[in-house]
């Protein structure tokens, strides 16, 4: 079997795709992660996906989940309530989107 050709970024650099083991994680842990929040904010601000901005594969997963959730959630929905707790509606929506495989 031939080895796969390395992926290249827009700048022409090699980008090796790393695979990670799946581990169970709660929705609350996902939504509290700073990279999730950054992805959520980035997509709402209209910023393009930036794969080089993440520090490692795990961070990239959180960032991408935040971007996906930001695309699914209504614009009026915030991640936090006035007290800084996770918005319960946002958590329910995340669960529904994950159940439908809109978010991995």
**Tens-digit pLDDT profile for residues 47-57:** 998 877 777 77
- Integer Cα distance of 19 and 64 in angstroms: 15
Domain boundaries, given as residue ranges, for the chain:
26-99
Q: For residue 82, how many other CB atoms are within 10 A of its CB?
A: 7
- Cα dihedral 80, 85, 90, 95 in deg (nearest 10): 150
Q: What is the pLDDT of residues 70-103, one digit of tens each?
A: 999 999 999 999 999 999 999 999 999 999 999 9
Digit-coded pLDDT (tens) for 25-39: 899 999 999 999 999
Determine contact, residues 62/37, Cβ cutoff 8 Å.
no
pTM: 0.74
């Amino acid at each position: 079997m031939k080895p796969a050709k390395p992926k290249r970024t827009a700048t022409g650099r090699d980008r090796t795709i790393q695979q990670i083991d799946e581990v169970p994680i709660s929705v609350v842990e996902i939504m509290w992660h700073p990279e999730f929040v950054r992805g959520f904010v980035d997509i709402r601000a209209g910023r393009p996906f930036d794969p080089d901005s993440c520090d490692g594969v795990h961070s990239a997963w959180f960032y991408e989940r935040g971007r996906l959730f930001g695309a699914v959630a209504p614009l009026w929905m915030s991640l936090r309530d006035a007290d800084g707790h996770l918005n319960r509606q946002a958590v329910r929506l995340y669960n529904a989107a994950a159940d439908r495989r809109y978010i991995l």
